[in-house]
């Protein structure tokens, strides 16, 4: 598919270009994971890279998440810059020991003698009727863990540039790519050639309330803001981008300005990232809030297969609009 607009590409293509760049930039960088080579990646992100870089740089692995993650961690300790792909975050549970007990602990536990500069990419989220073992959003779990950084690119620009920043970081960085975003298109600003992995970003300025969202829910939040504008409510949309460590400053700055906040989180509500953010807002901004904090989260069920049930389970634009309207100043 050729597109006449320069810099216009899908999120998937942006992920691929990011990987290609990384491989060209650093001979010690390589990709490792299930089906990343011959198959081209479960979500076709690495399609064509095997032919371009060969099997030492694009390493197909057995179905063995623990050693895939663990070998990535070990290789990073040994001086390489691995990009590990785990097909979906549901499968990453088979690699939890390595991520939580090794990657996240070794720098601290060794007294700073060893860094673990590994990047682990995985698909997350629902919306493609893949049922309850391929659709969950577990990034909030990972965001619980000290010692790792957790990224959630929600735009084509972040998909394109977050990887380089992650590889430059001396810490283990997990990147959650939302499955629904892979086909989303965007146009890259030619002026932007890098992004940070430390800050949240205001994607739509507004004055009446703040919608905090990330990843696959970001387009829904922006769409909701559009609908709210039609109703005369000026919503600010803040893209969290970095789920650990959270950029409290940007979040607080926005909410202290708008005094109202809706948090959108594709994780389940109980014990979620949204709960953490709500608690921080309550701790630090209690007296500046003009309304209770609202949350739009995934319903507390394993994500079901049928489209209507899946839709009902996941946060939707209409849910965000409804939550926002309930909070906004009376017209």
Give me the residues paired with residue 9 across strands: 186
Binding site for another protein (CB under 8 A): 28, 61-62, 64, 66-67, 69-80, 82, 94, 97-98, 101-102, 106-115, 117, 146-147, 149, 170-171, 245
Smallest distance, another protein to C-beta of residue 141, A: 18
CB 215, CB 176: distance < 8 Å: yes
How many other CB atoms are there within 10 angstroms of residue 39's CB atom? 13
Does 185 qualify as catalytic in the annotation?
no
Q: Tokens standing for 71?
A: 């070998």
Q: What is the CA radius of gyration of the chain?
A: 20
Smallest distance, another protein to C-beta of residue 275, A: 22
- 32's enclosing H/E stretch is strand 29-33
User: How far is Cα 106 from Cα 96, in angstroms, rounded to an integer?
Assistant: 14
Among residues 76, 170, 161, 183, the alpha carbon closest in space to that of 84 is found at 76
Q: Which is nearer to another protein, 66 or 133 (CB)?
A: 66
Smallest distance, another protein to C-beta of residue 62, A: 6
Does 139 qualify as catalytic in the annotation?
no
Q: Which is nearer to another protein, 110 or 133 (CB)?
A: 110
Q: Which is nearer to another protein, 26 or 185 (CB)?
A: 26
Among residues 52, 45, 47, 44, the alpha carbon closest in space to that of 24 is found at 52
Q: Catalytic residue among 34, 85, 134, 184, which?
A: 134
Q: Which is nearer to another protein, 32 or 213 (CB)?
A: 32
179: phi then psi, degrees, rounded to nearest 5: -60, -30
Smallest distance, another protein to C-beta of residue 176, A: 18
Q: Catalytic residue among 13, 34, 65, 266, which?
A: 65
Indicate which residues carry an active-site annotation. Answer: 65, 134
């Amino acid at each position: 598919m050729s597109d006449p607009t320069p810099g216009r590409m899908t999120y998937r293509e942006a992920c691929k270009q990011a990987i290609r760049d990384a491989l060209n930039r650093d001979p010690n960088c390589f990709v490792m994971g299930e089906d990343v080579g011959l198959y081209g990646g479960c979500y076709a992100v690495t399609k064509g890279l095997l032919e371009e870089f060969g099997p030492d740089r694009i390493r197909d692995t057995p179905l063995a998440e623990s050693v895939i993650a663990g070998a990535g961690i070990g290789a990073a300790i040994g001086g390489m810059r691995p990009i590990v792909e785990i097909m979906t975050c549901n499968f990453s549970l088979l690699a939890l020991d390595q991520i939580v007990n090794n990657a996240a602990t070794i720098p601290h536990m060794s007294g700073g003698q060893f860094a673990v500069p590994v990047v682990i990419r995985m698909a997350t989220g629902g919306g493609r009727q893949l049922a309850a073992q391929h659709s969950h959003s577990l990034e909030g779990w990972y965001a619980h863990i000290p010692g790792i950084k957790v990224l959630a690119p929600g735009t084509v620009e972040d998909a394109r540039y977050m990887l380089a920043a992650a590889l430059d970081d001396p810490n283990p960085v997990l990147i959650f790519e939302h499955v629904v975003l892979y086909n989303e298109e965007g146009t890259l600003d030619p002026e932007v050639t890098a992004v940070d992995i430390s800050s949240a970003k205001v994607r739509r300025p507004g004055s009446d309330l703040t919608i905090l969202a990330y990843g696959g829910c970001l387009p829904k939040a922006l769409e909701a803001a559009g609908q709210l504008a039609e109703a005369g409510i000026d919503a600010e949309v803040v893209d969290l981008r970095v789920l650990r460590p959270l950029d409290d400053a940007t979040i607080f700055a926005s909410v202290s300005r708008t005094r109202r906040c809706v948090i959108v989180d594709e994780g389940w509500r109980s014990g979620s990232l949204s709960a953490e953010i709500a608690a921080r807002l309550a701790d630090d901004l209690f007296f500046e809030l003009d309304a209770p904090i609202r949350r739009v989260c995934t319903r507390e069920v394993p994500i079901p297969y049928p489209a209507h049930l899946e839709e009902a389970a996941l946060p939707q634009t209409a849910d965000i609009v409804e939550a926002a309207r309930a909070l906004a100043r009376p017209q």
